[in-house]
A and B are shown apart, each in its own frame.
Chain A
Amino acid sequence: MSNPQNINSYRRKFMQGIGVTAAAATLAPGMLLREVQASNKEGYVTDKVRWGMLIDTNKLVEGGQEVVNACKKEHGWGAEAHSNERQKASWVRKVTVTEKTTGYVNQLPVMCQHCETAPCVDVCPTGASMKRADGIVLVNKHICIGCRYCMMACPYKARSFVHESLFDQHADSPRGKGTVESCTMCVHRVDEGKEPACVEASNGAIVFGDLNDPNSNISQKLKAEDGKQIRADLGLNTGVRYQGI
């Protein structure tokens, strides 16, 4: 039989354990928040810019069908032969909302909102879901294990999982089976100083620019006319803003 001395030492250890667990629980939220810090590495993007988009739903044709088409053309998603409708990739989709009291129907394109505090980045177990220093939220598919945690965490249903082997991908938009993908804000074009494909196709309905620069087109327009975040109540400070919703 165990003697009282032992019981006391067990009890002490147990209490210490509780203390450590409580300390970890207090620290954990801060520790788990993964963010790519502004790097000093030569030529790397910095946090001096934060890319954003302002979408005027009133100016969009067919609720943004041309935006969806331009995205498909640029990145080559949506033609997965062996996937069913629910499995097929969808980087941007048209959402129809109806005001119940008046019956007013509005449509808006919804894609990755490039949140400042992105839930997908928080939950990723491998660090594949990441935010670039300039605010663009991406999946680093080299280390994505396809667990789809980020898809669960995203309040905008912006991410898709590739269910099948893909062939003949576009050179600037690598996509592959077993990884999660979403709108990249056409990062390959932005790096070259160009605008995203959807912005180019929208005939002025979408304004792209630097949210950190008070003199940029997008900042000026936001200051003069304002723009809404979808689910602003979540406090994610999205990089994509809307007008006319």
Chain B
Amino acid sequence: MFGKARFFLTAMILLSGIILQGCDTSHPPESRLKTALAKSEQCVEPTALMRTNHMEFIKHMQDDTVYGGIRGTKHELKACINCHVPAASEDGKPLNYLKDNETGELNEEHFCATCHKYAVVKLNCFECHSDNPQNEGVAPNTAAHKIPALTSAQAKGGSHE
């Protein structure tokens, strides 16, 4: 009885060893992370916490933004992109998450894609959200056309207190 179990266990360990052999043990290339590493000290949370929990921060922020109209906080996806992704790669082309829009191949030069490609993460943030800070300011909000006598606090609903 136990012999059978031990055999099974040994077989499993051996098998997983064989399977893992095929995996690439190399880490994401450091050179690609130049921008990220340069800014890791200034990040809103410690690097180790961000590495494991960034998706949780973003997920909580999405509800606060959609339902509560809370914008411009430190855990916003837009803030991540604006800080970590340069508008253009070294050859001057816009730096997008996907290298090829048709095949869906990830662009390892993009900060998010660097690790996601390595960890084989499939995410859909950038199916809707902007993956590049260059789109910031495309909208004509430079005119800063403020509503007369309406501050941001009042806009949140404090005007009749």
Contact = CB atoms under 8 A, between A and B. Distances in A.
Contact of A169 (B67, B68, B135, B157): B135
B125 to A, nearest CB: 9
Question: What is the interface residue range for chain B against chain A?
Answer: 35 or more
B135 A140 contact: no
A235 interface: no
Given A165-B127, A168-B135, A213-B160, A191 B143 contact: no
A189 B141 contact: yes
A14 interface: no
A44 interface: yes
Interface stretch (A1-9, A23-31, A101-109, A170-178): A170-178
Interface stretch (A45-53, A58-66, A226-234): A45-53
Contact of B68 (A39, A142, A177): A39
Interface residues of A, number: 53
A134 interface: yes
B139 A48 contact: no
Q: Is the interface of B mostly helix, strand, loop or mixed?
A: loop
A199 B127 CA distance: 29
A138 B66 CA distance: 8
B78 A171 contact: yes
A176 B127 contact: yes
Contacts of B3: none
B119 interface: no
A130 B69 CA distance: 13
A68 interface: no
Nearest to A48: B157
Given A74-B140, A171-B130, A213-B159, A193 B135 contact: no
Interface in B51-73: 62, 64, 66-72
B158 A191 contact: no
Contacts of B130: 168-171, 174
Given A193-B146, A195-B145, A169 B140 contact: no
Nearest to B154: A193
Interface string A184-196: 0001111111110
A170 B156 contact: no
A46 B94 CA distance: 39
A167 B69 CA distance: 25
Interface stretch (A87-95, A112-120, A204-212): A204-212
B31 interface: no
Interface of B: 62, 64, 66-72, 78, 81, 94, 96, 98, 101, 124, 127-130, 132-133, 135-136, 138-141, 143-148, 150-152, 154-161
Given A191-B152, A194-B144, 11 more contacts: A43-B156, A49-B159, A74-B140, A138-B66, A168-B96, A170-B135, A171-B135, A173-B139, A191-B71, A195-B145, A213-B160
8 tightest CB-CB pairs across the interface, nearest first? A176-B128, A46-B157, A44-B68, A174-B128, A48-B157, A45-B69, A171-B130, A176-B127
21 contacts: A39-B68, A41-B68, A44-B64, A46-B156, A49-B155, A73-B139, A132-B67, A133-B157, A134-B157, A140-B67, A169-B129, A169-B135, A170-B130, A174-B130, A176-B127, A177-B127, A191-B152, A191-B156, A193-B154, A194-B141, A194-B144
Interface of A: 36, 39, 41, 43-49, 70, 73-74, 76, 130, 132-134, 138, 140-142, 165-177, 179, 187-195, 197, 200, 208-210, 212-213, 217
